[in-house]
Structure 1
């Protein structure tokens, strides 16, 4: 797809909800620089989604609604679950870490300054499924908002929400959470039966101007493949692009807008899956 394709105008809603693949995202961001109409549509769609998060008139599915009502803000993260007799996985992206110490970001940490160790952290869905459940409720309402002008985009948005739901509600879903070096926390919810994973963020600060948070699948040998981007917002849920396959970890780096074919900075977040 090129910036001159007439179909590119139909991607504004999917872009606002981070439902584009890396190539589509790069092409659409290039198009946005010269299309005021699409910029306005993306802005209004995001504003409506944020408003719906505060006052949604449409109820989410019962199972997700129950999870949200159980107290998304009041659930405290549980300590890491360590199997009896099993050695702790302390493999790190860079530098040693004392066993048992938390991987907290340094006070002066900036993008790429403080890689987060790969570690097997809290694996019970708990709080992270609740954060994602609230986001799914917003997606389900946002997908019907401005239906007349945005009906071209509802198919991809609805499909993305359904895929996220399938991972979060899979019987074998596991959750691994850790702090992000730039602030906030993130968790990866993965399902072997679905072959997919979702990245949920909480309190993540905006990326610096001209930069974006890019997600990667990382193999045990260290090879990285693009898995999507973290959309703007304090709380997000992103379906990772591609199959989990042989990925041994999921990482996030800060990259130039539009992303990079390979990481150019050290991870600000990385967990084993």
Structure 2
């Protein structure tokens, strides 16, 4: 069993399903309380999934064992007990290298079969970096000195809240307990400007609770709306709003 002080280093192995049962249980208990590790797992899982799109043939049954043998020498650093922002960044970069090393080992185990290409790996890395930048922007709005919030019931026990920072001209929509949209549909966010509504981003249809950085400037918007739209969103609302919130002054 990995010691508790080593759990921070298991994000890469967890994302690649390379932990034994005891390690997985211990890490998932830790994951529920550690947002840094949760963010790393999300990024690494997305990266691994993107790289897997380049697979050209089914993996042989012994692939997992072969990968683990080849990456056994990849060294992971033990985190300090007091984790600073700099050390979190270093761990994230180390874990990302761990995942990429596993993909390289998998390619070698397949005897030269191309599992991923440089361009695809670069795209996956850029997507992870973009996700991190958006998370940072959300945190900046939530922590802004002038941040104000308004909330409303959305239906079915769900709630929606909007946090606005007029100084940064940004808003974050926070959903809790949203019902899954019907197949082929997505929740779309809107800023209301008088009688007009302008698109402000799409919600993730697979997540009941999430925080979304709304696209576009808050400017003089008086409120926020949520509608159910076709996949990809609409230029103008096509359904009645499932939620309307007045923006805090």
TM-score by length of 2: 0.54
Inter-CA distance 234–263: structure 2 relative to 1 (3 Å threshold): same
Give 1:182 shift. 5.4
Give 1:175 shift. 0.9
Give 1:193 shift. 1.2
What is the total number of aligned residue pairs between the two structures? 149
Inter-CA distance 162–253: structure 2 relative to 1 (3 Å threshold): same
Q: How many angstroms apart in 2 are the aligned matches of 1:54 and 1:199? A: 28
Residues 140, 158 of structure 1: 8 Å contact kept:
no
For 1:142, the equivalent position in structure 2 comes to 42
4+ runs of 1 displaced by more than 4 Å?
Answer: 51-55
Equivalent in 185, 189, 206 of residue 211 of structure 1: 185
Residues 53, 138 of structure 1: 8 Å contact kept:
no
Q: Which has the higher contact order (CA 8 A, sep 6+)?
A: 1
Residue 266 (str. 1) matches residue 166 (str. 2) = no
For 2:215, the equivalent position in structure 1 comes to 241
Residues 252, 270 of structure 1: 8 Å contact kept:
yes
TM-score by length of 1: 0.49
Give 1:172 shift. 1.0
> For the aligned residues, what is the CA RMSD?
2.7
Residue 177 (str. 1) matches residue 151 (str. 2) = yes
Which deviates further from its counterpart, 176-185 or 200-209?
176-185
Unaligned runs of 5+ in 2: 1-14, 17-24, 49-95, 101-120
For 1:252, the equivalent position in structure 2 comes to 226
Inter-CA distance 236–206: structure 2 relative to 1 (3 Å threshold): same
